[in-house]
Structure 1
Amino acid sequence: MQNIILVHCKKKNYQIDDKGTFSNQSCDYNDYAVNVCDEVIKSNGIGILTCGSGVGISMMANKVKGIRCGQVNDYDSTLKAIEIGCNVISFGARIVGIEIAKQIIDTFLSNYHKIENNEVEKEISRIKEENYKK
């Protein structure tokens, strides 16, 4: 799926920084989640993560301070993730087909900066308070 997605993104002229994996071997997705999330924080950007189900990688992403990762499965859940301020999304490569994966990516990348909502800012502040208090 990764190669098909990369070709799709190049055709759409999306700027992407592929953080891997670069083989078909089983891997520790936690390392990849942290690498992507660190870059999202550093660049004040957005990120897209995949693993088999999308669950484990999203859990790890949400452990990184400043990351709000939503697990998405389709167009509607992707829009909702944007609306509630997710700066990273994840989906399962074994859960969604390639066409749905393309739709998720197109939706996230083309709509992310279009939605502004003051209520979302309040929710993000509350999430930060709850997640990062000592």
Structure 2
Amino acid sequence: MNKIYIANDHTAIEMKNAIKNHLEKKGYEVIDLGNNDGNSCNYANIGITLAEAVVTDENNKGIALCGTGIGISIAANKVKGARAGLVYEVQTAELTRQHNNANILATGARLIAVDKALLLVDTFLNTEFEGGRHQERVGTLDEYNK
């Protein structure tokens, strides 16, 4: 995995740019699907666009940012094959990968500092899905989407 899709609404431009720069310095190709002009925009459309890109290119991951991360994660999870995990803590960033095989990290620019967001992103991207007993549960979600 070298490609990361990132999308944001108007509330998360600063956080998105910091994450994007951080990931590019680490060698990732970052595909920016988000708001860059600061004008009010619809997080639902942005979350859906991000999730569609991630599931079309299934070996890669996505990062979804809005004020709280709630709205954009709900939107992303409407897309078949998307598993967006809303995280604010390192442990949830880790567990959403280990237990849920999330392919999208969502968080809130109004609720956490940029430095913490960078830590969450690194944790998310460096954590593998455990499979095993968790595979059956993720399989249930995938089956429901069919």
Ranges of 4+ aligned residues in structure 1 off by more than 4 Å:
none
CA distance in structure 2 between the partners assigned to 1:18 and 1:12 by the alignment: 16
Mapping of 1:94-109 within 5 angstroms?
94-109=110-125
C-alpha distance after superposition, 1:11-68 (max 9, x if no partner): 2222211111111111101111111111111110221100000001111111111111
Aligned to 1:20: 34
CA distance in structure 1 between the partners assigned to 2:76 and 2:83 by the alignment: 8
From 93, 106, 123, the equivalent of 1:78 is 93
CA distance in structure 2 between the partners assigned to 1:121 and 1:115 by the alignment: 9
Aligned to 2:51: 37
CA distance in structure 2 between the partners assigned to 1:10 and 1:129 by the alignment: 35
Give 1:129 deviation, angstroms: 3.2
Q: Runs of 5+ in structure 2 lacking a partner?
A: 1-14
TM-score by length of 1: 0.89
Amino acid in structure 2 at the alignment position of 1:110: N
CA distance in structure 2 between the partners assigned to 1:115 and 1:38 by the alignment: 21
Mapping of 1:39-118 within 5 angstroms?
39-44=53-58, 45-83=60-98, 84-111=100-127, 114-118=128-132
State, as a whole percentage, how many aligned pairs show the same letter: 32
Greater strand share, structure number = 2
Q: CA RMSD in A?
A: 1.4
> Is the 8 Å Cα contact of residues 62 and 68 (structure 1) preserved in structure 2?
yes
Give 1:80 deviation, angstroms: 0.7
CA distance in structure 2 between the partners assigned to 1:30 and 1:125 by the alignment: 26
CA distance in structure 2 between the partners assigned to 1:119 and 1:25 by the alignment: 44
Amino acid in structure 1 at the alignment position of 2:135: E
Q: How many residues align?
A: 130
Q: Runs of 5+ in structure 1 lacking a partner?
A: none
